[in-house]
Structure 1
Amino acid sequence: MADAPVYNASAPSGGNPLKIDVNAQYVGYEWNYTYIMFCGFIVWLIIPGIGLLYSGLARRKSALALLFQSLMIVAVTTFQWIFWGYSLAYSRDAGPFIGTLKNFGLKDVMAAPSPSSAVLPEIVFCFYQLLFCACTVMIVVGGAFERGNMLPSLIFSFCWATVVYCPVACWTWNSNGWLYNLPALDFAGGGPVHIASGWSALAYALVLGKRKNLHEPSHGKPHNTTLVFLGTTLIWFGWFGFNGGSALNASVRAMLAAFNTNTAACMGVLGWVLVDSIKHQGKFSVVGACEGAIAGLVGITPAAGFVSVWLAACIGFLTSIVCALLQDVNNWMRIDEGMDVFKLHGIGGMVGAFLTGVFASQSVAALDGATEATGGIDGNGMQVGKQLAEVCAISAYSFIVSCILLYILKWIPGMQLRVHEEAEIIGLDRAQFVDEQIGERVVLDDLLVSSSPANSSMANRNSGGMSVGSKEIKM
């Protein structure tokens, strides 16, 4: 196999393809970037997965808005990333806190070796990291569900990715970042993805205020458990690429990270179901099992490439137990964050980051042939303190900056972060979308009209024998 390519600052794009074959430098390493591209493709499935999960958890009258938002978020975030997001997070001349605009508009981002792996073309690395950013932003907007205005939420998404996600990603994964050099161990995004999104969603819910008629029986009741299950399975599948690709190579370490991902998710299900069965006298909850899987996935994210399989099982189980026991955390804080983003991602991410410091193993980190990392299990107790420094820094920065950003947007004339009360009561779907939701509302309207004495016989003829009221309905 040829030697790994070396970045040449005089040809930052990797060479002129009209004069040389830019692929020649990667001969023998094609399998590596093909694997990372495949991981990127399946990470993309997390985005509609979150949309389906959120849609199922919300009430029916706001379900369409959350599906639509998942597509809009990936579109807006992609524009932000190619505009300046990638440069702010991963430029080679970045400072300890934020990158420069050296790669503004993806300038010179093409065939050169990426900043994080010499055998990965930078365009592949850029695409893979874009999907991390999009998933994170999609998690954040869950804090505004059922009352957030669509257009301001998209503007917030662009700004949040710029002033929160990109700096935190630079701290954590850029070789010049201060957390990277501390070092705080974060394999796949416990800090930039989960802790940051959890605290930011909490800030979003705080600034918007509580939903109207919060104590109605329908509040907090998922309208479609099937969508919750489907969304969770897509997220779980996408997470194999999320964690399995974060080694940035197709090494044994990457394969272990994928194994650990499944292990932690499964143990998360068992942990949450155990708590639910104790709380509810032996009864179970499909939504609870799904939340347990996500808690396990969140907990293992920073640790996937640093721990053995059995310790991954412990992390998934412990994280889900902690999150399940904090079921009422929103009530304690008196903040209406009904999608549980803070509980699952914020708290779950903090637990995972802490346990990474406790359980990280040098022998596991070295499975890629290059990484050196030790944790408490190797006798490096200082690593736990460094993990806590990461948790505190990212938590404080994400929450405070998100609050400032939201209040700035709130004070801009015409920038109405929250929908009008009437729109909230009738639902975001009817208030903000054309009449695409041809489900129960339209059918119910037809039934009400056809049930009048004057129209009943006509309705029966038109519906092929349908009758309403106390009579049997034949379809």
Structure 2
Amino acid sequence: MADTPVYNASEPSGGDPLKVDVNAQYEGFEWEYIYIMFCGFVVWLIIPGIGLLYSGLARRKSALALLFQSMMLLAVTTFQWMFWGYSLAYSRTASPFIGDLKNFGLMNVLVAPSPGSPVLPEIVFCLYQLLFCACTVVIVVGGAFERGNILPSLIFSFFWATIVYCPIACWTWNSNGWLYNLPSLDFAGGGPVHIASGWSALAYAWVLGKRKHHGEVSHGKPHNTTLVFIGTAFIWFGWFGFNGGSALNASMRAMLAIFNTNTAACTGVLGWVMVDYIKHKGKFSVVGACEGAIAGLVGITPAAGFVSIWLAACIGFITSIVCASMQNINNWLRIDEGMEVFKLHGIGGMVGAFLTGIFASQSVSALDGSTMDPGGIDGNGMQVGRQLAEITAISSYSFVVTCILLCILKYIPGMHLRVNEEQEMIGLDRAQFFDEQIGDWTMYENTPGVFSSSAKEEPVSPPHEKQPSSNAEESGK
């Protein structure tokens, strides 16, 4: 076996390719970084998957806006990550709370061994972690469901990634981070991705306020269940790379994490469908099954590389039961968070992080040949307390800082976080896009059910338009 590459601080970029063969240091480890690159490609599919999921859950008149945002948020986050995001999260000279700007503009991020694993070139590690950040940002903007202005959401995403995601990623995964050294156990992002996105989406929805005519049946019905199903399939497939690549090597631990991912998603489906079947007196729900899969995936994310297969099944099942039981959480909180990001990602992430502390096993983490992280199964009861510290810190930081950021943006002249009432009534698609397809929909705007096939919803006319009189009224005149 070749010697493991060693980072040389005197050549932070990994060497001059005009003088040496920079590939030579990775001879014997090619499959390691090829595997992580493949996992990165798979993770990328989560982003359009979320776009399809959100688009299907929304009413038709705002469906294209959510597809568009998923693509635009990936573009904005990529720029942020290249600009300073990677450096703030993963610089080798980071403080316990946030990185410095030693890698500003991806300076020296090329072929040197990465801070995450010496067998990965840093450029591979950087791309893989970029996709985690992008997925998280796309999840967060679901909190602006059907009423958030698109341009301000893009500006918000740049700053949210900078002051919320990057510090939390540094806490959790940077070797200098305070949660990393506590240590809290987070294999693939239960804290930085799910808990942070869930609480931030809740903050986004709270600051924007409720949708107009909130409470109507049509607001809670997906317009296209097929898109919901396809989006969930993309997300489920992408999660194999999300969890399977988080070992940062192609070890047996990574293979187990992939098996655990599928297991938890499946038991998540079973748990949620069971709750729906009991609640709705023997009837099923396709959307409920999809939500159950996502709840199981969220729950297993922090635990995938720490627990055995049967305990992964328990985590998926328990997480989905808890999330399905929180069906009325928005009413309890009096916040209109229609995409249920907080219920699935926030609550699901907290349940998963807590159960990781209970079920983590040193014998599982040791499958990569070097990690020895004991959990509750090994008698390490303190790990549950450390997981609670992670949950509390990330929840409070992400919610409070997101609220502050949104309030600052809200009071900047010209920065309208929310569309006006007329635009909300006609839908984000017609209000903010000029695509020919959207123009074609105007022929259906007076046809009942065109915007919501599930709810038989009639489009609401803008406030300034007078509603036509019915035949009965005309005859009365």
Q: TM-score range by the shorter chain?
A: over 0.9
Q: Counterpart of 1:21?
A: 21
SS at match of 1:218: helix
Structure 1 residue matching 2:218: 3-state secondary structure = coil
| Residue type of the alignment partner of 2:169 | A
Are the aligned partners of 1:299 and 1:348 in contact in 2 as well (CA < 8 Å)?
Answer: yes
What does residue 305 of structure 2 align with?
305
CA distance in 2 between partners of 1:445 and 1:31 (Å): 55
Q: Structure 1 residues 424, 442: CA separation in 2 closer, same or farther (over 3 Å shift)?
A: closer
Deviation at 1:145, TM superposition (A): 1.0
What is the one-letter code of the residue matched to 2:437? Answer: Q
1:173-252 to structure 2, matched below 5 A, reads 173-252=173-252
Match of 1:432 in 2: 432
Write the mapping of 1:59-74 to structure 2, written as runs, cut at 5 A: 59-74=59-74
Per the alignment, residue 108 of structure 2 pairs with 108
Once residues 443 and 328 of structure 1 are traced to their aligned partners in structure 2, the CA distance between those partners, rounded to angstroms, is 36
TM-aligned CA deviation for residue 215 of structure 1: 2.2
For residues 248-303 of structure 1, the C-alpha deviation after alignment (integer angstroms, 9 at most, x for no partner) is 00000000000000000000000000000000001000000000000000000000
Percent identity, please: 82
**For residues 273-312 of structure 1, what are the structure 2 equivalents within 5 Å?**
273-312=273-312
| TM-score normalised by structure 2 residue count | 0.93
2:457 maps to which residue? none
Task: Please state how far the C-alpha of 1:447 moved relative to its aligned partner.
Answer: 9.2
- TM-score (norm. length: structure 1): 0.93
What is the CA-CA distance between 1:372 and the residue it aligns to?
1.2
Matching residue of 2:374: 374
Aligned to 1:256: 256
Confirm or deny: 8 A CA contact 2:80 2:158 kept in the other structure: yes
The residue type paired with residue 135 of structure 2 is C
The residue number in structure 1 matching 2:87 is: 87
1:436 Cα deviation from its structure 2 partner? 3.2
Q: What is the CA distance between 1:435 and its match in structure 2?
A: 3.5
SS in structure 2 of the partner of residue 409 of structure 1: helix
Identify the residue that residue 333 of structure 2 maps to in structure 1.
333
The number of equivalent residue pairs is 448
What amino acid does structure 2 have at the position aligned with 1:76?
Answer: V
1:42 partnered with 2:42: yes
Q: Which amino acid aligns with 2:176?
A: N
Q: Counterpart of 1:143 in structure 2: which amino acid? A: G
**Partner residue in 1 for 2:11:** 11
* Aligned-partner SS, 1:40: helix
What stretches of structure 2 of length at least 5 have no aligned partner?
449-477
CA offsets 1:430-468 (integer angstroms, 9 cap, x no match)? 0000033358734537999xxxxxxxxxxxxxxxxxxxx
Task: Please list every run of 5 or more consecutive structure 1 residues that lacks an aligned counterpart in the other structure.
Answer: 449-475
Aligned mates of 1:436, 1:323 — CA distance in 2: 40
2:265 partner SS: helix
CA distance in 2, matches of 1:210, 1:187: 35
Task: String of CA shifts for 1:128-154, please: whole Å, max 9, x gaps.
Answer: 000000000000000001000000000
Contact 2:273-2:285 at 8 Å conserved across structures: yes
Contact 2:240 / 2:258 at 8 angstroms: preserved in 1? yes
Cα distance in 1 between the residues matched to 2:82 and 2:51: 23
Per the alignment, in what secondary structure is the counterpart of residue 259 of structure 1? helix
Contact 1:88 1:101 (C-alpha < 8 Å) held by counterparts: yes
Contact 1:36 1:249 in 2 (8 A): yes
Aligned partners of 1:195 and 1:347 also within 8 Å: yes
Residue identity in the other structure for 2:99:
G
Residue in structure 2 matched with residue 352 of structure 1 by the alignment:
352
Q: In structure 1, the residue corresponding to 2:436 is in which secondary structure?
A: coil
Per-residue CA deviation, residues 215-256 of structure 1 (Å, 9 max, x unaligned), is: 222111000000000000000000000000000000000000
Alpha carbons 2:168, 2:394 under 8 Å: kept: yes
RMSD over aligned CA atoms reads 1.2
Give, as a single letter, the amino acid of the residue that structure 2 aligns with 1:358. Answer: I
Amino acid of the structure 2 residue aligned with 1:257: A
1:377/1:439 CA distance change after superposition, 3 Å: farther
**How many angstroms does 1:178 deviate by?**
0.1
CA–CA distance in 1 between the matches of 2:88 and 2:446? 54
CA–CA distance in 1 between the matches of 2:231 and 2:331? Answer: 26
Q: What are the Cα deviations for residues 298-318 of structure 1, in whole angstroms up to 9, with x where unaligned?
A: 000000000000000000000
Partner of 2:405: 405
Structure 2 Cα separation of the partners of residues 279 and 439 of structure 1: 41
| Contact 2:430-2:438 at 8 Å conserved across structures | no
**Distance across 2 between alignment mates of 1:444 and 1:166:** 45
Give the secondary structure class of the aligned counterpart of 1:219.
helix
1:282 and 1:44 mapped to 2: Cα distance? 37
Structure 2 CA distance for partners of 1:445 and 1:92, relative to 1, 3 Å: closer
Offset at residue 2 of structure 1 (A): 1.0
Write the letter of the residue equivalent to 2:400. I
Report what 2:162 is aligned to: 162
Q: Deviations over 1:147-177 (max 9, x none)?
A: 0000000000000000000000000000000
Post-superposition CA distance 1:379-435 (Å, at most 9, x none):
000000000000000000000000000000001000000001100000000000003
What is the identity, as a one-letter code, of the residue corresponding to 2:256?
A: L
Equivalent position of 1:460 in the other structure: none
Distance 1:233 1:439, change over 3 A: farther
Is the 8 Å Cα contact of residues 429 and 438 (structure 2) preserved in structure 1? no
Q: Does the residue aligned with 1:78 lie in a helix, a strand or coil?
A: helix
